[in-house]
Structures are given as structure tokens and as C-alpha cells.
Structure 1
């Protein structure tokens, strides 16, 4: 199910950069802040922001981070600073903050639930940090989620990496992000690395967590738009399609607007 992008990368690049510039001008801010993870999504997003000529602050926020992820992120930042004089960077090591948090909240015997909650806590600590820097520098927080993550399987943390001001690449499939990344000449080490959210402090990949690759999930998302059913596919395709449908269903609370209980007029 390897997916080859047909994206017109040069036109899309120009379109997103112009969209970012217009959005920032209308919001009357001086630029963007982007969390750098060492992955392709944040590398592409920060490069797009840098092309606007506006201040682009790249923030590293390690929490017991794997050295490989840190190294890839730093390689990207150094490359970006050489290419664009408007790019700045800062590191906020949140490891001690995370450890203090763990000491001050109750735990339970359900290790799996604790670990998942702590993984989401990492993402929410990073969101808080990005908005801190955005506040003091007059910047907008640029989201790094792609279309499969944001609107397909909901593979992000609510009010964590999902807490952003705008989403420049959320209409791009993962294959499109890689194609754009190649066009933007982001480091090869990032393009070749297995995608990971890095939230569990181990070497598990996104595919390990999701049960399917991004190519497979992208295929399933497109098939779902055609209103296909699991029985229409081969055994592996059926398995992937069911994974996609399950995740798409259980994560609707992330993708939909926050429900508001509307009070009848006669009650007011």
C-alpha cells in the first residue's frame, strides 16, 4: 500500500507560505513558534514558517527524550538557521517539570492507564510552553499535524499537540508531507526516520501504536471516503480498514467542536 504523492510541491509550498503570511498579518503578530520534535511534520512546518520572512522560533522541549530524536531536531534547526536569518531557537528542558508533576499526582495500579495519561501530560506541558513563548514574543503557535493524524485517526493529544493557533499542513496526507519535505530539503536523517510521537520514553513508533503504517491508514482514509466496506478488501486491507474505522470513531471527540449544552429560550 505504498502511497506516492502527486502533490504539486512548488505550488503548494507557495500557497501555504502566502497563507501563513496573510494569517499573521491579519492577526497582527510578528511570526510563529513551532515545537521541534526531530520528525518530518515539525521540520516541514517550521521550514514553511521560515519562508514567510517573519520571526520563526523553533523550540526544543525534551522530556527524557531519545538522543536520536534530539540530534535530528538540532540538525534541522541548525540547517534552518543557516538558510533563514529570521529563524531563532531555544530549548526548554521539561524533564524536571514532568518529574515534579508525577510526584504530585496520585497513581493507580493500572500501569497502562497511568503511562498513557503521562504520555498525554508530556504533550500538554509542551503546549503550555509553546504558548508561554508565543505570549512573550507576540507569536502564533503553528500546529504540525497532518491530515491522517488530525482528521483520519485522531492521533494527537487533545489540548496537547492539538492545541494550536493554526494548522498549515493539516490538509496534507503524510505522503504529501514527505514529498514537500524532500522539496524543502529537510535533513535526510528526518526523512528516513520512523515516525514516532516520542511521548513514552522508549523506541515505539507511531506504527507500533496505531497497528498500521501511515501509507496504510492513508489508503484506508481514501477508501472510507468512497464509502467502501471491510468485506471489499483482502485480509490485510480489511484489518487496516477496521483499525482506521475504529480510531476514526473513538477519536471523534478530538475532531469535532466542543459540544455546548444549549439552554432553551424559555428557560432563560
Structure 2
């Protein structure tokens, strides 16, 4: 390009960030500064998001400090949310809560959801309960919030509280729309929802997924994170439920159909 402005640099930073290349995104940001291109609020958001997705805590904190000291740019709640996400991933949940409480902008639903995700990740039920109450108070008609709260308790084994959160959502008549995944094979698109077993190749799909699991255990030492399965049932049943996620069913069909990864007719979302 003959002319590179902050927009073109931001596009590059965003691309690297979305593909998990946080260090490369930070490197491009610093390269932009060496070319005397001044970042704007969108550019800072892109690089902070890249740090968040890649767990670059030190780099993210330094960039956020630079943002606060940059004249002419007023940090938005989205910038603070990136830092809360960084702190949450690192287990520094109280710092994340303090940042929300002291930031000069009004917290939105998203930033509380971000902190709640961190509480779930690290099993901080005490803070998670406090955040849950705030979240449901300001956005009590969003079914996703009740799912997040119930998952917080379910992952920690608090099944009574888990059930109460789900029941509270049902009492309000709220229902989270089920996710869907699809895969294109030989120019035909196949759709799956979680738990679906209506496809004629279901036995072969399950067989293919079990084979992948076996190889992952034997060759990589991988074991299921069964706490992610939010039901008070035995481990074998939890594995069956995890195997029924829509994304896995779509991948299983591709494997059962003999589609090689990277082929043009292999597309899944």
C-alpha cells in the first residue's frame, strides 16, 4: 500500500487478534507507532481485545495505561471490559470488580457478564453471586444471563442453586435459543442442533467422535473437563452429553463421510 493510515493498521491488528495471534497484533501496533501513526479509540480497542483473547496480561495493562494517558481519547466501557477480561482470565477477579466500581463510565451488561465468566472460570462463588445479583437486576429479561448464573453454580457443584437459577428463567417465560452448527459436504449443507440424533449416519458420527476421543487420550493425554457439563449425573453420561454438542456432531459427520480437513467442500461453522 502506498498510503497506510490508522484504519489499515487497525484492520491488521484486528485480524491477528481474531486469529489468536496476540503478540503479532501488539507488534503491529508498536510498528504503527514507529511510523508516527497515532492510534484512535478503535485501534486501542482492537489491540486490547487481541491481548485479552491471547492472555497477554502485562502487555494489555501497559497498553491500557498508555490509553489513559493519551490526550484526545476517552476510554469507553468496551476498553474497560477488555481489561476486566484480562484480569478475569488471570484470576484477579477482585481487581476486575474494583475497576468496574471505579471507572468513570457507566458499566453495561457486557462488562458484568465478562466478570461473571471469570468467576465461573476460577470458581469464585462468593463474588460470582454478587455479580449475578447485579446482572439479573439490570438485565433480568435476558435468558443468557440465567444460563450464565446457573453454569456458575453447576460448575462448582452447587446443584440446588444451579436449579434455582434455571427455574427463575423459566418462571419468567425466558428460553435461550438453541445454537446450531452446519457442515457442507459435496455441495450439500447439513444442520445440527445439540443432542440431535435424527441423521441416518448418527451411529457412524458417534463412532468417529469416540475414535477421536480415544486418540486424544492415548496420544495427547487429553481428558474431558467434565465440570463444563452442567448436569448432576455420572461422568459417563456427561461424556455422552458433551459428545452431542452441535459443533461436534457437524465435525463427526465430516469425519464419518471421509471429508479431509482443508478441502474446498469442507465448510463448518
TM norm structure 1: 0.26
Which has more helix, going by share of residues? 2
Which has the higher relative contact order, 1 or 2, with Cα contacts under 8 A spaced 6 or more apart?
1
Highest Rg: 1 or 2? Answer: 2
